[in-house]
Structure 1
Amino acid sequence: MKLNSARRAWHDCAYIQSRGGLSSLEQRCLLGTAVQTTERGVTADHSVHSTLAGWIQSAIAKLHPQVRVFGEFMYSPHITRELTEDIREAAEEVVFGMALSKSARMTKAKREKAVYVVAGVLYRYQYMHQGGQSANPDPLAKPETFRAWLFDRHRVRIESCNWERDWEVFVRNCFNCCEDLDRMALSPVAVTIYQMKEAA
């Protein structure tokens, strides 16, 4: 397990190292996919990984549940599709609640569409920050492409007229909430990494 960044550590701490090589290739051929097992290797790498992962998992476990679910949505390698959907929906609820509290009052119709706007912002934010040091470009930066994505994915039509007045501030609030949650989720993990490196 490499302790290069809090994002990477969050992702990697969920894996249990197993013996690689031909055994994983055999599983892939038999099952059509790789299966994670708890089979121990012949080196001390497994113990080192387990120890480091335990420290990171302990920091994650101490987070507020709403912050933790956002971090899980962003950085955990999920095993089942059902679990992924549950975590995504929970993260959307957290961001929606935070963004709504920072936004002006909405009509019922606009609020129903805002749920899907939050889902779109989370999709964008995850793409931009996952798998690196926040180096990916925003895939739906232009309002036209974002509106088209919302219609293609959720069949929600948002009018282009008055985009800035009706939606730009709400979208910005959603991104700000994601950044706040991300910082709250990763800060304790980064502190733990720093402490481990200092103790070494």
Structure 2
Amino acid sequence: MRLNSARQAWHDAYYQPWDSVMAVASEWAKLGASVQTTCKSVNANHAAHQAIAGAVQAAISRLPPHLRAFGDFMYSPLDQPAQREMAEAGVFRIAVEVGQRMTQKKFERAELVAKGILFRYRMMNQGGQGGCSDPLEKPEAFREWLYQVYGVKLDSRNWEREWQPFCEACFGACNDFDRRALGPVSTVITELLEVA
């Protein structure tokens, strides 16, 4: 397991380098059962990976549920729709708390905007290092994406006044959740590297 970053460690702690899903499905189709073979890599490297993964998973398990859901959605290799929904709700809640007052109609659209910002944040941090560009940085591209995915049209007029502050509040919530979720994992990595 590589300890390059807390994001990478979060991913690797839940990643099991075993047979692919398709290989197992193929085996089931041929034999009607799964057969363990000796070609699986159960050795000292695997044991070390499990030990490090256990330490990282323990740190993650102590996080509050909303931070764990955010981190799992961002970095876990497991597809967990419930974690995504909880992360989206958390970002929306924080952005509404720090943002300006809004009408009921804008409030309903703002929830979808928050989902879009979380999608953008995840794309920017894909790969674990946080150095990717924002695929929907231009308001026109973001508005088009919202329309294509959620069917919501946002007016392009007065974007800076109407939606930019809310988008910034969503990004701020993402940054705060990310920092707080990755903090304990970073501590574990530091401790593990000091021992090594």
TM-score by length of 2: 0.89
- Tell whether the 8 Å contact from 2:75 to 2:128 is kept in structure 1 after alignment: no
Output the CA distance in 2 between the equivalents of 1:46 and 1:71: 24
Output the CA distance in 1 between the equivalents of 2:65 and 2:174: 15
Unpaired segments ≥5 residues, structure 2? 30-34
Q: Paired residue for 2:53?
A: 53
2:39 aligned with 1:43: no
Output the CA distance in 2 between the equivalents of 1:123 and 1:41: 35
* One-letter amino acid of the structure 1 residue matched with residue 88 of structure 2: E
How many residue pairs get matched? 189
2:76 aligned with 1:76: yes
SS class of match (1:13): helix
Output the CA distance in 1 between the equivalents of 2:90 and 2:22: 40
State the structure with bigger RCO (CA 8 A, min sep 6), 1 or 2: 2
Q: Paired residue for 1:114?
A: 110
Q: Paired residue for 2:155?
A: 159
Supply the RMSD in Å over aligned alpha carbons: 2.2
TM-score by length of 1: 0.87
- Structure 1 residues 38, 138: CA separation in 2 closer, same or farther (over 3 Å shift)? farther
Output the CA distance in 1 between the equivalents of 2:190 and 2:145: 40
Counterparts of 1:120-135 in structure 2 under 5 Å?
120-135=116-131
Q: How far apart are residue 44 of structure 1 and its match?
A: 1.1
Aligned identity (percent) is 45
Q: Paired residue for 2:133?
A: 137
Output the CA distance in 2 between the equivalents of 1:107 and 1:49: 51
Q: Paired residue for 1:27?
A: 24
